[in-house]
């Protein structure tokens, strides 16, 4: 059925940018709404952009309501939040969890979330622990359909400069054929494509997509 209403959080990121283009160019989606923290101009004049204070539950709910599909590809880095781990948690935990709560409360049947390979609420790694906590919390909500994507190292051209990531790619990518499949680097565009395809299948339950599922198209 065409004409689905999609809401995207995280459109300025690497995966989110690809998602925005795919959603815009696909007639399956009748309307596409992008929620952003601050005013952003995109190259798609017909995309509806709403500036949202994600710390305001009512404003967040109002902006995201009426969606058939909610894509959440938000995330930050310690550098961006200047080491403020509370601010880090507000982006990487609060936004996706609140997005899921909004799905539950407003009847949006399908949440599609970017997480990370190795996500585990018991991990000693803060990032992976946080991702695992997000997944567990969302799973408890029993939303009709939740699709969680766990990429490893993302490949693609970021708008921002990340020296550590560039070095990691130089060192890691040549030997990635030796890695177990789920730890292989993956093109951000492939993650976005897999998310769009999953949104059309709309399979019930809580489903996790690793590397193999994200490149199988």
Average the pLDDT over 147-175 and give the result. 66
Q: Is 163 a residue whose pLDDT tops 80?
A: no
Q: Rounded CA gap, 154 and 157, in Å?
A: 10
Q: Across residues 179-199, what is the average pLDDT?
A: 88
Number of structural domains found in the chain: 1
Contacts 24+ apart (CB under 8 A), 199-202: 199/4, 199/6, 199/69, 199/71, 199/110, 199/112, 199/147, 200/28, 202/109, 202/110, 202/145
The answer to whether residue 109 scores a pLDDT higher than 70 is yes
The question of whether 131 is a catalytic residue gets the answer yes
Q: What is the pTM of this model?
A: 0.88
Q: For 28-64, what is each residue's pLDDT tens digit? A: 999 999 999 998 888 888 899 999 999 999 999 999 9
Which residue range forms the structural domain that includes residue 48? 4-214
* CATH number of the domain that residue 135 is part of: 3.40.50.720
159 is catalytic: no
pLDDT of 177 higher than 70: no
User: Cα–Cα distance between 41 and 29 in angstroms, integer?
Assistant: 20
Catalytic residue chosen out of the listed positions 33, 131, 184, 209: 131
Out of 28, 93, 104, 127, the active site residue is 127
| pLDDT at 162 (0 to 100) | 52
């Amino acid at each position: 059925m065409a004409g689905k209403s999609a809401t995207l959080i995280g459109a300025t990121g690497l995966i989110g940018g690809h998602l925005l283009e795919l959603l815009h160019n696909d007639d399956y989606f009748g309307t596409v709404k992008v929620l952003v923290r601050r005013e952003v101009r995109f190259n798609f004049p017909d995309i509806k952009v709403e500036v949202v204070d994600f710390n305001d539950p009512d404003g967040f709910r109002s902006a995201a309501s009426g969606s058939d599909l909610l894509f959440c590809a938000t995330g930050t880095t310690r550098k961006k939040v200047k080491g403020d781990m509370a601010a880090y948690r507000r982006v990487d935990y609060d936004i996706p969890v609140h997005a899921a709560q909004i799905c539950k409360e407003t009847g949006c049947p399908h949440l599609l979330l970017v997480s990370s390979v190795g996500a585990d609420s018991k991990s000693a790694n803060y990032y992976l622990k946080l991702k695992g906590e997000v997944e567990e919390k969302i799973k408890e909500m029993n939303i009709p359909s939740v699709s969680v994507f766990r990429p490893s190292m993302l490949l693609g051209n970021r708008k921002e400069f990340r020296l550590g990531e560039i070095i990691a790619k130089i060192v890691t990518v040549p030997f990635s054929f030796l890695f177990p499949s789920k730890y292989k680097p993956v093109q951000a565009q492939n993650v976005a494509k897999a998310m769009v395809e999953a949104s059309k299948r709309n399979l019930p339950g809580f489903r996790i997509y690793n590397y193999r599922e994200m490149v199988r198209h």
